[in-house]
Amino acid sequence: MSFSNLGLSDKVLAAVAAAGYTQPTPIQEQAIPHVLARRDVLGIAQTGTGKTAAFVLPMLTLLEKGRARARMPRTLILEPTRELAAQVKENFDKYGAGQKLNVALLIGGVSFGDQDSKLTRGVDVLIATPGRLLDHTERGGLLLTGVELLVIDEADRMLDMGFIPDIERICKLVPFTRQTLFFTATMPTEIRRITETFLHNPQKVEVSRPATTAATVSQLVVAAGRESHQKRELLRQLIRSASDLKNAIIFCNRKREVAILHKSLVKHGFGAVALHGDMDQPARMAALEQFRKGEMPLLVASDVAARGLDIPDVSHVFNFDVPHHPDDYVHRVGRTGRAGRSGTAISLVSPADEKSLAAIEKLTGQEIPRSAEHAARPSETAHDEHASREAPRRAGRRKSSGKSSKSEAPAKRPSSPTSAPKPVTFGRAPERHDRSEPADHSHLPAFLLRPIRARA
Domain boundaries, the chain: 3-206, 217-364
DSSP code for 113: H
pLDDT of residue 363: 86
Per the CB < 8 A criterion, the answer to whether 80 and 95 are in contact is no
pLDDT at site 221:
96
- Superfamily for 3-206? P-loop containing nucleotide triphosphate hydrolases (3.40.50.300)
**pLDDT in single tens digits along all 456 residues of the chain:** 899 999 999 999 999 999 899 899 999 999 999 999 999 999 987 666 788 999 999 999 999 998 888 999 999 999 998 888 988 999 999 999 889 899 999 998 888 899 999 999 999 999 999 999 999 999 999 999 999 999 999 888 887 778 989 999 999 999 999 999 999 877 778 888 888 888 999 999 988 666 678 888 999 999 999 899 999 999 999 999 998 999 999 999 999 999 999 999 999 999 999 998 788 878 888 998 899 899 999 999 988 776 656 677 899 999 999 998 888 898 889 889 877 789 999 999 999 999 999 999 998 889 999 987 655 444 433 444 444 444 444 444 444 444 444 444 444 444 444 434 343 332 333 333 333 333 444 445 555 556 666 554
Distance CA 251, CA 323 (A): 9
Q: Give me the sign of the Cα torsion angle 204, 208, 211, 214.
A: negative
pLDDT for residue 449: 56
How many other CB atoms sit within 10 Å of the CB of residue 17? 13
Q: For position 67, what pLDDT does the model report?
A: 86
Please report the pLDDT score of residue 446 as a whole number: 58
- Fold match, 3-206 / 217-364: yes
Sequence-distant (≥ 6) Cβ neighbours of residue 5 within 8 angstroms = none
CA 332/CA 368 separation, integer angstroms: 15
Rounded-to-integer distance, Cα 60 and Cα 9, Å: 8
CATH of domain 217-364: 3.40.50.300
Residue 274 vs residues 46, 88, 217, 235, 305: alpha-carbon distances, Å: 26, 22, 24, 16, 10
